[in-house]
Structure 1
């Protein structure tokens, strides 16, 4: 039951945000071996002065805070992070130096919806 929160200085239309969220969901389900019904994506736009990254070059910034269930391998997380950053670079011209991904892992039981509580993730 991941919560994928993006903070960015991009200015995106409603259609762009929808396309972005749908593509990120596809990448997450493919790279993390799960289904899409429980993937939540948040896109928050900020003025350029509101975000800072020491290594940044001229261009938009994009940060992902990925709140995920504990248990995914480093390889799965790295693959998703790279796929996400490659997509943002290609689709929205975000310089690679201007992106950052941070994973926070939670036990399955800490991730809840009205109809379910997460369980332990296994790579089967």
Structure 2
């Protein structure tokens, strides 16, 4: 039950936010071998003064905090991060230096909704 939280200095329309959420959900399900029904996405637009990155260059910033269930191999996480950053950079003209992904991993039982509690991740 991942929570994919974007903080950005981009100014996005409602349609662009929907496109971003749908694309990232598709990337997540593909790269992380799961289904889309439990993927949550939040997009928070910030003022330029709200986000800082030491290596940043001129242009918008986009940070993704990916709260995910523990257990996925590094290769899956890296593939999702690269695909997501490539999409953001190409679609919204974000300089590569200004895109960042951080994963926080939780035990399956820490990931829950009203109707279910997550289990441990299994590649099968």
TM range (shorter): over 0.9
Aligned length: 124
CA distance in 2, matches of 1:93, 1:104: 26
Displacement of 1:123:
1.0
Corresponding residue of 1:123: 123
After TM superposition, which residue ranges in structure 1, 4 or more long, deviate above 3 angstroms? none
Output the TM-score relative to the length of structure 1.
Answer: 0.99
Question: Structure 1 stretches of 5 or more lacking a match?
Answer: none
Question: Structure 2 stretches of 5 or more lacking a match?
Answer: none
**What is the 5 A alignment of 1:26-65?**
26-65=26-65
CA distance in 2, matches of 1:37, 1:123: 18
- Root-mean-square deviation over aligned CA pairs: 0.4
CA distance in 2, matches of 1:5, 1:35: 18
Corresponding residue of 1:106: 106
Output the TM-score relative to the length of structure 2.
Answer: 0.99
